[in-house]
Structure 1
Amino acid sequence: MVVRFTGLIDHMLPAGEPPKFTFAPDTPVPQTRNFFVACPDDLLPKTDRSMQSPHFNAAASTLADVMIETAPAHGMTAKTGVSGAEPGRLYFLARSPIFHFPDWVEVELVLPEKGGDISFCLFAQSVYGLDDIQQNEKRTRAWIADVTKLMHGK
């Protein structure tokens, strides 16, 4: 007989609310090592836990749809009804496979000022712990690779 405590663990380790990160070069980043950031170069905060996000010649709705579609393959579920959610922001909750530790992933779509390509800023942070052993970075890089593959096919 196998007993699963997944639902119980999820209640014991509540995710709370997302951090609502501000994307700008002068934004202070957490002192902990439990986050990862992806942004276009001009919005990227100063940290070694970051990467430049890709640009796509597509509509914002297409990019949002592809992100939502590919998120489950990376252990994330899209969350709606986040209090204080802003237009153009997507929220995902990731949970580690074994112990179900929660990580929030926030995405802000970055629309071009005129013409040009759409991009996004992303902030992924563990809810618990001071070091995520680069799990947010690994998940983010793999997810962005899948999103990029699909976006180039559209």
Structure 2
Amino acid sequence: MKAATMCEFSRQEFIGGLQSLGIDTIEKFREKLPYMRSELRDDQKFREIYNFAFVWAKEKGQKSLALETAIGMWQLLFAEWHWPLVDHWCQFLQLKHNKAISRDTWSQLLEFVKTIDLQVSNYDEEGAWPYLIDEFVEYLTANGIIQRPRN
């Protein structure tokens, strides 16, 4: 729909978005939903949607995304993409961070999800990850969610 603001659609955005999808009836809208969901499983399309979501969901004039909004967006986005650690990530943020999410953290989380295995065995503590992701790995280990070899 190319909406500029989350939860707000101008008439032009709504109609233009539907037209670009070839939708002119409720039935065509229903038929198109599975295709739209399937796009979330395409790596490149997911990256585009994920990056768009940060800008779209943050409040006007803000550089960061409110924590509760970020958590909601991650739960929604990763519902189709199936990142098994998303609930642990969200719980960690609520317990340990409780601050807005920067664009850098938002972007780097996707890289973490795409490159680091579920046991975090290929995570390099000396890598250029944001401190929040480093702390998340420590949280996973300290709470027995993952088992990492000690150096």
Task: Provide TM-score, normalisation by structure 2.
Answer: 0.27
The structure in which a higher percent of residues are strand is 1
The structure in which a higher percent of residues are helix is 2
Structure label with greater radius of gyration: 2
Task: Provide TM-score, normalisation by structure 1.
Answer: 0.27
